[in-house]
Amino acid sequence: MTEPVLNHVSCPDPWGGHRMAYWQWGEASAPHVVVCAHGLTRQGRDFDVLAQALLARAGGRLRVVCPDVVGRGRSDWLKEATGYQIPLYAADMLALLAQLHRQAPMAALDWVGTSMGGLIGLALAGQPGLPLPVPPRRMVLNDVGPVLQWQALQRIGQYLGETGRFASVQQAADAMWTVSTSFGAHTPAQWLALSQAMVKQLPDGSYTLHYDPAIAVPFRALTPEAAAQGEAALWQLYDQVRARTLITRGTQSDLLSRETGQAMTERGPRARLVEFEGVGHAPTFVAASQVEVVTDFLLAKD
């Protein structure tokens, strides 16, 4: 399969509900489900390379599901900007998992989360009482942990919500690269492939980034004090994770410090930490070496 199938799930919210889009790869009836959740301004097609590698390695007997978190990609935008926070995103994922389980019973659930997607994974795997179809089996936290470095949040806040207007997809890709060089080396073709789903065409023929600028509203309301208070809650979630956990980190990451990554190997699920040279925040799982680490972990027989 070279292209995923686009689906939607209806999700409740206090403002009348919304639909979340998700991209599904592999066999729709496969009992082993891998959910790949993207970062703050990204969308589900970020995982095309990883999804295809997983399917090739598993012989196709796998469902790889890559949601567009609400406000991004093909999903609806919320009517109220304050909803763009982890609790609502986690509730949406519960609705998604319930729909997937109704469509075909789920026997194993794995989670791959980049940055924001990793925090969503923590919210699900770190709360034992949630109505999940099955407990998460394995989890990949990509360049994220309970301690988020304030300087990185400030850096992200400088461009968040600036969706721009571009004459072409290539021009948009070039603009995104200026704020995404920390993703590490990519060929022009690889970066263009990652960028194509990140833009949408406007009626006048120009292009803009494919997310709701209002996601910046709650992000910019965050203070250093609130971030520090949130660390305790995130550590509590992490300490309650029972899934086997892998942390992937760029050695130059400004969001996940090596100290935090090391601490995550010593408490909670006692994660394994793998670092990628020449990469900051965050690895994209496009490079073969990165893909191999994740596929080895998720599809290991032990």
Summarised one tens digit per residue, pLDDT across range 30-76 is: 999 999 999 999 999 999 999 999 999 998 789 999 999 999 999 99
Summarised one tens digit per residue, pLDDT across range 244-260 is: 999 999 999 999 999 99
Asked if residue 183 and residue 125 are part of one domain, the reply reads no
Asked if residue 129 and residue 49 are part of one domain, the reply reads yes
Q: Residue 174 pLDDT more than 80?
A: yes
Note the pLDDT of residue 196.
Answer: 94
The total number of structural domains that make up the chain:
2
Pairing mode of beta strands 199-201, 136-142: unpaired
Asked if residue 201 and residue 61 are part of one domain, the reply reads no
- Give the pLDDT band (50/70/90) at residue 2: confident
Summarised one tens digit per residue, pLDDT across range 273-301 is: 999 999 999 999 999 999 999 999 999 98
Asked if residue 114 and residue 21 are part of one domain, the reply reads yes
In a domain? residue 26? yes
Asked if residue 142 and residue 128 are part of one domain, the reply reads yes
Asked if residue 77 and residue 134 are part of one domain, the reply reads yes
Residue range(s) defining the domain that contains residue 191: 162-210
Asked if residue 240 and residue 187 are part of one domain, the reply reads no
Summarised one tens digit per residue, pLDDT across range 131-163 is: 999 999 999 999 999 999 999 999 999 999 999
Q: How many helical (H) and strand (E) elements, i.e. helices and strands, does the chain have?
A: 10, 10
Asked if residue 106 and residue 19 are part of one domain, the reply reads yes
- Say how many Å lie between the first and final Cα of the chain, rounded: 27
Q: What percent of the chain has pLDDT over 90?
A: 93
Whether pTM exceeds 0.75: yes
What is the residue-wise DSSP string for 126-171? Answer: T-TTS--SS-EEEEEEES--S---HHHHHHHHHHTT----BSSHHH
Provide mean pLDDT across the span 238-244.
98
Nearest to 140 by CA among 170, 106, 117, 165: 117
Asked if residue 83 and residue 38 are part of one domain, the reply reads yes
In a domain? residue 215? no
Q: What percent of the chain has pLDDT over 70?
A: 100
In a domain? residue 88? yes
C-alpha 167, offset from chain centre: 28
In a domain? residue 73? yes
Asked if residue 71 and residue 10 are part of one domain, the reply reads yes
